[in-house]
Amino acid sequence: MKEARHDVVVVGAGPAGSITAKTAAEHGLDVLLIERNQEIGVPVKCAEGVSKEIEKFVPLDKKWICAEVNGANIYGPDGTKVVLYGEKMDEVGYVLERRIFDKFLASEAARAGAEIRVKTEACGLIEANGYAKGVYVRRMGEDTRIHARVVVGADGVESKVGRWAGIDTRLRPSNISVCAEFLMCDIELNKDYSEFFLGSEIAPKGYAWVFPKGEDCANVGLGIGGDVSGEKHHAIDYLNAFVRNKFPDGKTVAEMYGAVPLSGPLNESVADGLILVGDAARQVNPLTGGGITYAMQAGKIAGEVIANAVQEEDFSKQRLMEYESRWRGAFGKRLETGLKAKEFFFNLSDTDLNTLAHSLEGVKIEELSTGALLLELIKRNPKMLIGLAKMVL
């Protein structure tokens, strides 16, 4: 078997992997970033909405920003509309073109000095004395042993790297959002607003979205709870019904299916010689399903911590825990609040959701964030939401 040696091997070239690779390479490390697909960023499995917070992690580039939105309309099960609008936008601000964005991030990693190999799949972990010491990879039928001082699992929702290292990454069906999405064109839409649709008939234990991608195109999709998905009740069945009703004359130019982990973060995202980043570490807001900016933030922290660990020649779990405490400090609270809010809202009946939507009808919430929405809801429905208030405030 062929052999290779690097300081760091990063498995998966999504936003988490590319930013980790870029940051570690910027600190002078010899980094290999591998991606099993033949093209980074493809197939797109995402609705591509991000908050303006993304500007903190990467300078904006028109090449990968497809649309800018100024607000969000949220529709209750009976159609009642709630409007979020404003200068301060925490949740949705841009709709990306991820096939370009993900390639751009990987190119930045390459410019910083990382080596990149596509069509290269990690198939097992090299271990010694309880430490991760690299990965076995397969590229076009050829196996290579890649030795590394630190292994990074940035291999997304289906992550195997964590499992190989003995980390419990299992997801219960109720903690998975099963999604289907169409890229639709020739539809009538408000190109300045993202739209969200709630209700058990539209998307049980989830929601439907319409994220504009220009004048007459949008990502139209939905996610449902993995525990309610079944015969004739698959995400695609709900999406077909939604589209028939909302965009009967629209044209579908792409289809995709995917899953989002809604469990909240793993109890542990590090092991001896190993770090998990992004969806692999379940760093996704369980209420909204958004994970791109968390993956980027965690990737930057991971790259910095790995650089320190290499300098100190200490790759123990204890040393790498700096990563865990830093990312939890940066956004762990938001994920915890999101988990509590998800558990509360996903169990409400349509009648309760309508009551909540009616309480905000005609009110313009001048901050586009789930935090502002929750606060306004609690203010207007103190009795109904006392349990939630105790959890999130």
Question: Which chain residues interact with ligand FAD by CB under 6 A?
Answer: 11-17, 34-37, 45-50, 121-122, 154-156, 160, 179, 181, 221, 258-260, 278-280, 284, 289-292, 295
* Least distance (Å) between residue 209 CB and ligand FAD: 7
The C-alpha atoms of residue 161 and residue 154 are separated, in whole angstroms, by: 8
* Least distance (Å) between residue 44 CB and ligand FAD: 9
Q: Which is nearer to ligand FAD, 161 or 388 (CB)?
A: 161
Q: Which is nearer to ligand FAD, 179 or 274 (CB)?
A: 179
Q: Which is nearer to ligand FAD, 32 or 310 (CB)?
A: 32
The C-alpha atoms of residue 158 and residue 11 are separated, in whole angstroms, by: 12
Q: Residue 128: beta bridge partners?
A: 131
Q: Are 263 and 159 in contact (CB under 8 A)?
A: no
Q: Residue 81: beta bridge partners?
A: 75
Q: Which is nearer to ligand FAD, 47 or 287 (CB)?
A: 47
Q: Which is nearer to ligand FAD, 354 or 369 (CB)?
A: 369
* Least distance (Å) between residue 362 CB and ligand FAD: 28
Smallest CA-to-CA distance from 118 within 106, 127, 126, 108 is with: 106
* Least distance (Å) between residue 78 CB and ligand FAD: 25
* Least distance (Å) between residue 157 CB and ligand FAD: 6
* Least distance (Å) between residue 328 CB and ligand FAD: 17
The C-alpha atoms of residue 259 and residue 252 are separated, in whole angstroms, by: 20
Q: Which is nearer to ligand FAD, 46 or 67 (CB)?
A: 46
Q: Which is nearer to ligand FAD, 151 or 385 (CB)?
A: 151
Q: Which is nearer to ligand FAD, 83 or 280 (CB)?
A: 280
* Least distance (Å) between residue 258 CB and ligand FAD: 3
Q: Are 333 and 52 in contact (CB under 8 A)?
A: no
* Least distance (Å) between residue 288 CB and ligand FAD: 8
Q: Are 91 and 369 in contact (CB under 8 A)?
A: yes
The C-alpha atoms of residue 44 and residue 51 are separated, in whole angstroms, by: 18
Q: Which is nearer to ligand FAD, 16 or 183 (CB)?
A: 16
Q: What is the dihedral of CA 92, 260, 254, 240, to 10 degrees?
A: -100
End-to-end CA distance of the chain: 56
* Least distance (Å) between residue 363 CB and ligand FAD: 25
The C-alpha atoms of residue 176 and residue 165 are separated, in whole angstroms, by: 22
In 10 A of CB 87, how many CB atoms?
9
The C-alpha atoms of residue 301 and residue 295 are separated, in whole angstroms, by: 10
The C-alpha atoms of residue 54 and residue 112 are separated, in whole angstroms, by: 20
The C-alpha atoms of residue 99 and residue 103 are separated, in whole angstroms, by: 7
* Least distance (Å) between residue 379 CB and ligand FAD: 27
Smallest CA-to-CA distance from 122 within 280, 271, 283 is with: 280
Q: Are 270 and 321 in contact (CB under 8 A)?
A: yes
| Angle (deg, nearest 10), helices 15-26 and 292-312 | 30
Smallest CA-to-CA distance from 210 within 92, 371, 360 is with: 92
Q: Which is nearer to ligand FAD, 199 or 278 (CB)?
A: 278
* Least distance (Å) between residue 346 CB and ligand FAD: 17
Kind and range of the H or E run holding 210: strand 207-212
